[in-house]
Amino acid sequence: MDITKLSSRDLAAYMDATNLRADATLAELQALCQDAAALQCAAVCLYPTDVSNAAAWLQGSKTRVATVIGFPSGRFSLMAKEAEVAEAARSGAHEVDIVMNYSHLLAGKKASVLEEVKVLTAIAHDHGMLSKIIVETCYLPESLLLTALELCEAAEADFIKTSTGFGSGGAQVEHIRLWAQRRQRIRIKASGGIRTLADALKMIEAGADRLGLSSARQILDEFEGRKTESTKSDY
């Protein structure tokens, strides 16, 4: 991606404005949704119990509703995750960010991981939702990062996503670049630790198609400020 050609609208379209704080208030979540709609962010990502409210607040806007499944550890039964995905659809979600059972991946249980991702993605697609599979990159060596990519591709997931934000680390440029070089068709979501415009642009340049972050407004304001200064310098 040539980041020199990005407009503010383009940059906003990469963003999933996110609030997964345990102490987030209803007023904060409503403000986030209203702000994201005004900015025309791609989506707002909230906990499952906030989906119906978000769907109402975002009605008529271009911003979609996303929620998390099996969050944050991924260590839930397939049946429990299936129920979460179906409930998210009933509540008005358009996208589900599903935490892979990466403990199974670390244990070498590839078939179990593939079945989980395939089943959950199929349910999401049956309900017209996108699936984003969170693999928690901070815990995976490079070989398993590539295995995770392979499994998500095989399961026909829409996105592979780096992090929950609750692990020991967030998105890393080298991981985004590795996936971007090896992927066939899947999109990439970088999340965790993206707090500045420089962070966001590095992820996009490396190959990210979506960014999960809690500072959409600040980053877009920084982008607009930089554009304004650049324009002034031309005169």
As annotated, the active-site residues are 97, 161, 189
**Rounded distance, CA 148 to CA 141, Å?**
11
* Residue partners of 70: CB distance under 8 A and separation at least 6: 76, 80, 81, 84, 98, 99, 101
- 119 alpha carbon, distance to own chain's centre: 19
Q: What is the DSSP string of 109-175?
A: -HHHHHHHHHHHHHHHHHTT-EEEEE--GGG--HHHHHHHHHHHHHTT-SEEE---SSSS----HHH
**DSSP symbol at 207:** T
Calpha distance 43→119 (Å, rounded): 23
Identify which of 71, 164, 158, 148 has the alpha carbon closest to the alpha carbon of residue 113: 148
If you search the block for the tokens 């996503």, which residue do you land on?
Answer: 161
